[in-house]
Amino acid sequence: MSDWKEKICSYVDKIRPQIVALSKDIHAAPELKFEEHKASRWLADALTTEGFHVELGAAGLDTALIATHPEISDGPTIAILGEYDALPELGHACGHNLIAGASLGACLALGKVKADLPGKLIFFGTPAEEGGGGKVIMVQAGLFDDIDAAMIFHPSNRTMVTRGSLAITEVEIAFTGRPAHASGSPEKGINALDAVIQTFNGINALRQHIKDGSRIHGIITNGGSKPNIVPEHAAALFYVRAQETSYRDELLEKLHSCAQGAALATGAELSLSKIGHEYKAMKENHTFAAAFKKNLEMLGIEVGPPSGGLGSTDMGDVSHIVPAIHPYIAICSEEIVGHSHEFAEAAGSERGYDVMISAAKALAMTAIDLFIDSDLMRRIKAEDDSVR
């Protein structure tokens, strides 16, 4: 096993210029959810050149791809996932350009020794993690049904192999009132914006009465057209998050109650609907994570305990279908947070690219463990089955 790991690490170092160049290209040309046409094509071309069988447009998504190495034999089917969508206005402030590069590098390196390894190697290119749920759609299409283990790395301001994530639902509330002259005859109007503001006030009153770690946060997306017109239409977009899917659903009911109260208080008509993404919480597999940790430490990377606040990821939905890990590796200091201009800079820095190369090695090394060590694979599956 050590010989294979040495080979793949050497090969990752050899192709570093190619992987860094691709990551830089993705960073320089940020594409939003479901619009990642350049990134997905660059990945597809790189995998095709190395002999993978590539399907671009998987699960009916133009920018999703599946790449399968042609050397297939009896043994586990291992999936390494890549992300490549960016954030509005901030670009790659979540570092998905590094995820794409690391996963590609791992698969290309594994491809060089796959003839000597049992099982099946698949690269999944998963679009729209930032609010579109590409993995959710791919799960629903059955693409993960025959996968034995799935993994992805994520850049962060801390290094940890387990962390968890929050279940999330995206909700839009909209109110319809009655327009009137806001100065001449305000009593004739019904103010839809007031209803939105009252909804926020109701949610703020809830905050001390919800479980630690849960989140309800939103923005006003429509507040009217002019100050001298009582707003007839107003709307807001909310994310509702919790560590348990059942509690997230309870919080959704509380949000609905706040909005209903605001409608009653103002006389506006309420419309509430789930839109966009709805992700499950990440289901941790500690046996799997420990294997990845061991390989990180072999590369000289120190791993810390889980820390920091939790976000949400559609990798959570994958983890409910198949044993999965979503480890984090620091690309910057702890003072820099994700989804910031500073983190976007870190995702395009030399430190970021160094981490990406280390992540590619750790992913590939862990895949070798899974291909070769049947007892490890058995223990990973047993842990996964015990918590379903």
Residues 274-331: pLDDT tens digits?
A: 766 789 999 999 999 999 999 999 999 999 999 888 889 999 999 999 999 999 999 9
Same domain, 356 and 245: no
pLDDT at 27: 98
Looking up residue 149, the CATH number of its domain turns out to be 3.40.630.10
Task: Tell me how far apart the alpha carbons of residues 214 and 275 are, in angstroms, rounded to a whole number.
Answer: 20
Same domain, 230 and 215: yes
Same domain, 202 and 105: no
Q: Residue 240 in 3-state DSSP?
A: strand
Q: What count of residues does the chain have?
A: 388
The CA distances from residue 317 to 133, 150, 152, 272, 324, in Å, are 9, 12, 13, 24, 10
What sign does the CA torsion over 141, 317, 94, 66 have? Answer: negative
Q: Give strand ranges (E) for the chain.
A: 53-56, 65-68, 77-82, 120-125, 149-151, 154-156, 167-176, 215-222, 233-242, 269-279, 324-325, 328-330
pLDDT at 175: 97
Same domain, 173 and 156: no
Same domain, 224 and 314: no
Domain carrying residue 114: 2-165+282-386
Of the candidates 235, 250, 279, which is a domain's last residue? Answer: 279
Of the candidates 279, 309, 335, which is a domain's last residue? Answer: 279
Q: Tell which residue, 162, 158, 159, 123, has the closest CA to residue 143.
A: 123
Quick one: tokens of 331?
């690309």
Q: Angle between the 374-386 and 350-372 helix axes, to the nearest 10 degrees?
A: 100
Of the candidates 279, 308, 334, which is a domain's last residue? Answer: 279
How far does Cα 184 stand from its chain's mean position? 50
Same domain, 368 and 266: no
Task: Tell me how far apart the alpha carbons of residues 352 and 356 are, in angstroms, rounded to a whole number.
Answer: 6
Same domain, 251 and 293: no
Q: What is the mean pLDDT of residues 133-156?
A: 97
Q: What is the mean pLDDT of residues 49-77?
A: 97
Q: Tell which residue, 375, 241, 247, 388, has the closest CA to residue 324.
A: 388
What sign does the CA torsion over 175, 180, 186, 189 have? Answer: negative
Same domain, 177 and 262: yes
Across 183-187, 269-273, 317-321, 324-328, least confident range: 269-273
User: 361-379, pLDDT tens digit by residue?
Assistant: 999 999 999 999 999 999 9
Same domain, 41 and 158: yes
Same domain, 42 and 117: yes
Number of domains comprising the chain: 2
Looking up residue 182, the CATH number of its domain turns out to be 3.30.70.360
User: 199-253, pLDDT tens digit by residue?
Assistant: 999 999 998 899 998 999 999 999 999 999 999 999 999 999 999 889 999 999 9
Under the banding of pLDDT at 50, 70 and 90, the label for residue 1 is low
Same domain, 233 and 109: no
Tokens 């949000």: give the residue: 255
- Look at residue 133 and tell me whether its pLDDT is greater than 70: yes
Same domain, 57 and 127: yes
